[in-house]
C-alpha cells in the first residue's frame, strides 16, 4: 500500500510479520528500497512511536528519512509522536536533532506497553 510520494521518493506500508509486530514503512527511491522506518502505532489512543530508521549508506545525508518521517507525521498529524532510543552516533545525532516536535524517548500508551 502506498503511503505517500514526494518527487521520486515513495513510501510504502509493509504489514507486520507478527500480529503484534511493528508495521514497517519502506522508503523507495526510483522504485528501489533504500530504507525503512519501523513504528509502533496505537490507533485507539492516536500514538505513534518510531522505533528504528534504516537508510542504505549510499543514500544517507540526503534528507530521505526526514522527508519520509515528515510524510507520515502529516498523514497522522493528530497522533502523538515520539521515538525509541537510538544509537548516539554522529550521524544519528544529526538526524534526530534535525527533527522538530518529536520526543526523543518513547511516549507509549497502555496498549503499546502491553
Q: For residue 58, what is the domain's CATH number?
A: 3.40.630.30
Residue 5 confidence (pLDDT) above 60: no
Find the mean pLDDT for residues 4-28: 68
Total of domains in the chain = 1
Using one digit for the tens of pLDDT, what is the confidence trace for 18-74?
A: 555 556 788 888 888 999 988 888 889 999 999 888 999 988 888 888 888 888 888
- Report the chain's mean pLDDT, rounded to a whole number: 80
Q: Which domain covers residue 89, as residue numbers?
A: 2-113
Residues 6 or more apart whose Cβ sits within 8 Å of residue 6: 67, 71
Q: pLDDT band at 1, cuts 50/70/90?
A: very low
Q: What is the pTM of this model?
A: 0.78
Higher pLDDT, 46 or 5: 46
pLDDT higher for 89 or 33?
33
Query: What's residue 14's pLDDT?
Result: 74
Confidence at residue 45, expressed as pLDDT on a 0 to 100 scale: 93
User: What value does the mean pLDDT take over residues 1-10?
Assistant: 61
Amino acid at each position: 500500500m502506498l503511503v505517500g510520494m514526494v518527487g521520486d521518493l515513495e513510501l510504502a506500508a509493509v504489514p507486520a510479520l507478527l500480529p503484534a509486530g511493528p508495521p514497517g514503512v519502506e522508503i523507495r527511491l526510483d522504485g528501489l528500497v533504500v530504507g525503512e522506518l519501523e513504528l509502533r502505532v496505537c490507533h485507539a489512543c492516536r500514538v505513534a512511536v518510531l522505533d528504528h530508521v534504516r537508510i542504505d549508506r549510499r543514500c544517507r545525508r540526503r534528507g530521505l528519512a526526514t522527508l519520509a518521517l515528515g510524510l507520515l507525521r502529516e498523514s497522522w498529524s493528530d497522533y502523538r509522536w515520539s521515538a525509541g532510543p537510538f544509537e548516539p552516533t554522529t550521524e544519528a545525532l544529526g538526524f534526530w536533532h534535525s527533527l522538530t516536535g518529536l520526543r526523543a524517548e518513547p511516549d507509549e500508551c497502555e496498549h503499546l506497553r502491553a
